């Protein structure tokens, strides 16, 4: 179902529900978009149709640090607004890991069930975005409860789940049925955005899929070459929307010993270390290579889903200026000249 609502009515609605929901929306902070807690005072500062926020969506579901002794309270009803398709794709990866299989993460599940996802189109992708190289689009098609497409001084709303349909029930009188003209305008804007991403990444296009390249070039000297500038900071994994590795630690707190879960990084020296101080990936280039294999080969092989969505955050965050697209291109050049 698709509807149209003008900007004033939409912002009034958000202002009203911000009194009962915790709403996080992308707003400009120091020239970047950052998720901010919405209030009646800042509701009209929200940015919808540009690029994704600095923070990955996972921060709302898998916390950087949390006690995991017991689920003690019900999470607050939360709305995350302005989510881009790269984060929706990453959320599919996290759902497979934390919600499917023999073991379910109760903390992740509780937050997921109590959060409404309102996505939005990405009309102004950044130069670091490369979703199209992975056959993704800069606009949502699934995985959202409600999608918001800025158009004609208002928004085209697309319902994506029963939760989203229930959410807009209170403003049905303010909604108009989306006309074919509005749908065509949205389609044109989406095509322009996709064309922009394709053009930005034209030089990084490869003949072989990324999964084949990283597997075939396992022994390539490129791996060691590109790690010369790596400072092993772990920024690439922390900022990645689909990285989920964690470490469990017993801590001491006023005579008690709660178990705490921390984000961990496969780029750190001790990540793979086992008994007797044996480390199968002691060298930095081995850890960097493993990360690429994890994203493009191991996850598809074991879970049927690529664990990279082309958001480009790792490119921006890397202190060593390592661009994942350049690495893949260098690996592919030997066979594709």
Q: Which residues of the chain have pLDDT under 70?
A: 71-73, 334-337
Question: Three-class SS of residue 28?
Answer: strand
pLDDT, tens digit (0-9, with 9 covering 90-100), for 113-170? 999 999 999 999 999 999 999 999 999 999 999 999 999 899 999 999 999 999 999 8
Which of 102, 284, 134, 283 shows the shortest CA–CA distance to 198? 134
What's the confidence (pLDDT) of residue 166?
A: 94
Token match 């990453």: residue? Answer: 90
Across the chain, how many H-helices and E-strands are there? 12, 11
Report d(CA 231, CA 267) in Å as an integer.
Answer: 10
> Distance between CA atoms of 136 and 85, rounded to whole angstroms?
8
Taking the mean position of all CA atoms in its chain, how far away is CA 87?
Answer: 3
- Report which of 118, 142, 138, 126 is spatially closest to residue 13, judged by C-alpha positions: 118
Query: Maximum distance among all alpha carbons in the chain?
Result: 68
| Residues 6 or more apart in contact with residue 212 via CB below 8 angstroms | none
- Token pair 């790596």 in the structure block, residue: 230
Question: 0.85 cut: is pTM over it?
Answer: yes
pLDDT at res. 14: 93
Cα–Cα distances in angstroms (integers) from residue 6 to residues 9, 10, 156, 176, in the given order? 6, 6, 9, 9
Please give the pLDDT value at position 90: 98
Q: Is 82 left (phi over 0), alpha (psi -120 to 50) or beta?
A: left
CB atoms closer than 10 angstroms to residue 325:
20
Asked if 322 contacts 251 with a C-beta cutoff of 8 angstroms, the reply is no
pLDDT tens, residue by residue, 221-261: 999 999 999 999 999 999 999 999 999 998 887 777 888 99
């Amino acid at each position: 179902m698709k509807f149209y609502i003008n900007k004033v009515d939409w912002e009034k609605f958000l202002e009203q529900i911000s009194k009962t929901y915790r709403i996080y929306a992308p707003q400009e902070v120091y020239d970047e978009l950052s998720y901010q807690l919405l209030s009646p005072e800042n509701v009209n500062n929200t940015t919808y149709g540009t690029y994704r926020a600095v923070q990955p969506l996972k921060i709302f579901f898998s916390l950087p640090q949390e006690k995991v002794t017991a689920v003690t309270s019900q999470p607050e009803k939360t709305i995350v607004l302005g989510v881009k398709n790269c984060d929706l794709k990453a959320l599919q990866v996290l759902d497979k890991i934390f919600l499917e299989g023999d073991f379910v993460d109760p903390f992740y599940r509780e937050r997921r069930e109590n959060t409404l996802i309102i996505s939005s189109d990405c009309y102004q992708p950044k130069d670091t975005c490369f979703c199209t190289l992975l056959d993704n689009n800069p606009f949502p098609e699934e995985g959202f409860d409600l999608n918001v497409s800025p158009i004609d001084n208002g928004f085209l709303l697309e319902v994506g789940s029963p939760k989203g349909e229930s959410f807009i029930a209170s403003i049905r009188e303010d909604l108009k049925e989306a006309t074919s003209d509005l749908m065509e305008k949205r389609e044109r804007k989406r095509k322009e955005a996709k064309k922009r991403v394709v053009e930005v990444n034209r030089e990084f296009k490869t003949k072989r899929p990324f999964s084949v390249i990283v597997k075939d070039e396992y022994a390539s000297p490129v791996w060691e070459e590109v790690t010369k500038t790596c400072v092993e900071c772990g920024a690439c994994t922390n900022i990645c929307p689909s990285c989920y590795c964690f470490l469990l630690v017993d801590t001491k707190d006023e005579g008690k010993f709660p178990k705490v879960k921390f984000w961990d990084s496969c780029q750190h020296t001790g990540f793979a270390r086992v008994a007797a101080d044996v480390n199968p990936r002691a060298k930095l280039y081995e850890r960097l290579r493993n990360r690429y294999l994890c994203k493009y080969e191991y996850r598809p092989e074991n879970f049927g889903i690529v664990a990279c969505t082309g958001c480009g955050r790792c490119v921006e965050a890397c202190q060593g200026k390592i661009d994942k697209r350049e690495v893949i291109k260098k690996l592919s050049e030997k066979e594709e000249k």
